[in-house]
Amino acid sequence: MSNRRINWYKYAAPANFYPLAGKMIPFFAVPAAILFIIGIYVGFFVAPTDFQQGESYRILFIHVPAAWMGMFLYVMLAIYAGIGWAFNARLASMMAQAISTTGAIFTFISLVTGSLWGRPAWGVWWVWDARLTSTLILMFLYIGFISLQSSIDDVRRADRAGAVLALVGVINVPIIYFSVQWWNSLHQGATITAKSFKMAPSMLAAMLIMLAACWIYSIAVVLVRVRYIIREREQEAPWLAEAAV
């Protein structure tokens, strides 16, 4: 990413960014794959069995990073969409579009793995806990953004409308979060909190490695996506015909 920061203006043009992204993808994809393998190995074979939750806690090694990425990517999405709208930067809007799918997938993964973990740990697939509920709402926000963008045919309008929605959403996220938390404290009976358990160092290591892997994976996959989006949107551009060969 640092490359783009130096020559911001040059690489803000899709024609220049497209080949650069193509070159950068392996540098993120390969480390992501390696880190995933290491993380899964440490998580499954090195980290000790938890004395309370048994083996099932190991699903958290994918659940926690996915949840973090889901939230973080929404902020990134709003930032890129905002830049694209404010400065009329096409590439930033394309980045926002590329991020939206990845973020939604991570949020979905965190919901699914969370309920898979909740079944043995809490005895239920789903509880209306503040964190679960706000993750679910985050998923709704992603779906809203994606469906708004895909239902507007004019690309320029789609980008800007998406930006307004993303920014409104990002302002609303803290409000939603706190309201859900207060709502949750109102209904005390239903609350089941995760018992905080002390982490063994190898558990923490697995978690951090998986987080790094998810992070780098996101960069790689967003770059792949943004290349497809550039190809789709710039179909008519002569440079693409040259570059595609």
Q: Can you give the binding site for another protein, defined by CB under 8 A?
A: 137, 140-141, 143-144, 147-148, 151-152, 157, 160-161, 164-165, 167-169, 171-172, 175-176, 179-180, 182-183, 186
Amino acid at residue number 224: V
Q: Which is nearer to another protein, 18 or 97 (CB)?
A: 97
Q: Least separation, in Å, of the C-beta of 104 and another protein?
A: 13
The CA-based angle 167-168-174, given to 5 degrees, is 100
Q: Least separation, in Å, of the C-beta of 95 and another protein?
A: 19
Q: Which is nearer to another protein, 163 or 206 (CB)?
A: 163
Q: Which is nearer to another protein, 122 or 177 (CB)?
A: 177
3-state secondary structure (DSSP) of residue 236: coil
Q: Least separation, in Å, of the C-beta of 182 and another protein?
A: 7
Q: Least separation, in Å, of the C-beta of 212 and another protein?
A: 31
Q: Least separation, in Å, of the C-beta of 179 and another protein?
A: 4
DSSP assignment string, 64-108: HHHHHHHHHHHHHHHHHHHHHHHS--HHHHHHHHHHHHHHHHHHH
Q: Least separation, in Å, of the C-beta of 190 and another protein?
A: 13
- Number of neighbours of residue 26 by Cβ within 10 angstroms: 10
Judge whether 101 and 142 are in contact, CB under 8 Å: no
Q: Which is nearer to another protein, 168 or 194 (CB)?
A: 168
Q: Which is nearer to another protein, 49 or 172 (CB)?
A: 172
In sequence order, what are the residues at sequence separation of 6 or more whose Cβ sits closer than 8 angstroms to the Cβ of residue 192?
A: 122, 124, 127, 129
The CA-based angle 186-188-189, given to 5 degrees, is 135
How far is the C-alpha of 33 from the C-alpha of 39, rounded, in Å?
Answer: 10
Place of tokens 């160092």: 201
Q: Which is nearer to another protein, 119 or 157 (CB)?
A: 157
